């Protein structure tokens, strides 16, 4: 039997597995419906950096209205030290369509917990780590009450540290977020965005995301989401190998032959779990 795979075009992906996290400026409410209809696994309405300080009140009201009128999305809220954080949470806490918040500029675990508690423990918090201090405290943040996933604010991190965007320079903060996520028993972290319109560059950088052990990526436009989804999903070869390995394992009575069998068994089961979650169908002939 020869497996073949084809991705499903319409499927709700659980937030702990979400690959593409589409940022949408909260100052553009006319774009919310289009974002929700995009292939993004998660839509994040941004009331932080994407909105000028003079327009934040109006933007958060537009977001709350859309979330009350049937829309569903995450919201990137302002950081705890800003004058806007409390107002963001006050307006959002009763919005029925709020799936969670992405907390900007997270540097301490207490900031996650305070945000979680302000929202009555009702929604999860993705901690966006964007500074040297945040990276150093990443494990504390990952273990905080209310923490759901970590995300990398790579642009602000580079501005804070003076580091370049090179793969080598960004290896440490990415690895730190991956290790801290594991220590906090969280899903894999969400990588920072690729700036620009080049899909080959996006594909290349998304491949780096996967190689570092990250399992999601922030997107800046809807057309980036299918590329990110494809790269972070199991490949055809991966899925074929997983089904073949499990079939062989069953055929030999599920006997472990050597020390490599259990790691391969775990990998095969994980690949199939992701294939099912992402709608990668396997047909046999």
CB 114 within 8 A of CB 80: yes
Dist. CA 135–CA 159, nearest whole Å: 14
pLDDT of residue 181: 98
Query: Which residues make beta-bridge pairs with 21?
Result: 42, 218
End-to-end CA distance of the chain: 5
CATH 3.40.50.2300 assigned to 20-231: no
d(CA 126, CA 145): 12
- The DSSP H or E segment spanning 20 is strand 20-25
DSSP per-residue codes, 188-220 = PPEEPPPPSS-HHHHHHHHHHHHHTT--EEEES
Following DSSP, what letter does each residue of 136-178 receive, concatenated? HTHHHHHTSTTEEEEEE-HHHHHHHH---S-HHHHHHHHHHHH
Domain parsing of the chain, residue ranges: 20-231, 236-283
DSSP state of 70: T
For the chain, count helices (H), then strands (E).
12, 10
Q: What is the pLDDT of residue 6?
A: 43
pLDDT at residue number 11: 65
Are the CB atoms for 262 and 256 separated by under 8 Å?
Answer: yes
The answer to whether 75 and 103 are in contact (CB under 8 A) is no
Per-residue pLDDT of the chain (285 residues), as tens digits, is: 334 434 444 568 999 999 999 999 999 999 999 999 999 999 999 999 999 999 999 999 999 999 999 999 999 999 999 999 999 999 999 999 999 999 999 999 999 999 999 999 999 999 999 999 999 999 999 999 999 999 999 999 999 999 999 999 999 999 999 999 999 999 999 999 999 999 999 999 999 999 999 999 999 999 999 999 999 999 888 888 888 888 888 788 778 887 788 888 888 888 888 888 888 876 644
Rounded distance between C-alpha atoms, residue 201 and residue 207, angstroms: 10
């Amino acid at each position: 039997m020869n497996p073949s795979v084809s991705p499903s075009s319409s499927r709700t992906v659980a937030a702990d597995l979400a690959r593409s996290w589409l940022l949408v400026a909260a100052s553009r409410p006319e774009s919310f419906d289009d974002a929700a209809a995009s292939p993004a696994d998660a839509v994040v309405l941004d009331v932080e950096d994407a909105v000028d300080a003079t327009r934040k009140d109006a933007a958060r009201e537009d977001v709350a209205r859309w979330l009350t009128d049937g829309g569903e999305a995450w919201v990137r809220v302002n950081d705890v030290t800003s004058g806007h954080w409390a107002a963001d949470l006050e307006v959002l806490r009763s919005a029925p369509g709020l799936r969670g918040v992405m907390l900007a500029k997270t540097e301490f675990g207490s900031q996650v917990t305070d945000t979680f508690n302000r929202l009555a423990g009702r929604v999860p918090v993705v901690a966006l780590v964007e500074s040297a201090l945040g990276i150093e405290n990443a494990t504390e943040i990952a273990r905080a009450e209310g923490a759901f996933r970590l995300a990398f604010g790579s642009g602000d991190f580079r501005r804070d540290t003076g580091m370049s965007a090179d793969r080598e320079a960004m290896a440490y903060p990415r690895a730190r977020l991956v290790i801290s996520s594991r220590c906090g028993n969280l899903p894999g972290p969400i990588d920072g965005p690729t700036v620009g319109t080049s899909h080959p560059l996006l594909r290349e950088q998304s491949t780096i995301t996967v190689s570092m052990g990250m399992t999601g990526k922030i997107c800046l436009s809807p057309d980036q989401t299918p590329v990110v989804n494809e790269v972070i999903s199991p490949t055809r070869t991966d899925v074929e190998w997983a089904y073949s390995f499990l079939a062989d394992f069953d055929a030999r009575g599920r006997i472990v032959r050597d020390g490599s069998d259990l790691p391969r068994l775990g990998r095969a089961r994980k690949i199939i779990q992701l294939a099912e979650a992402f709608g990668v169908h396997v047909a046999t002939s």
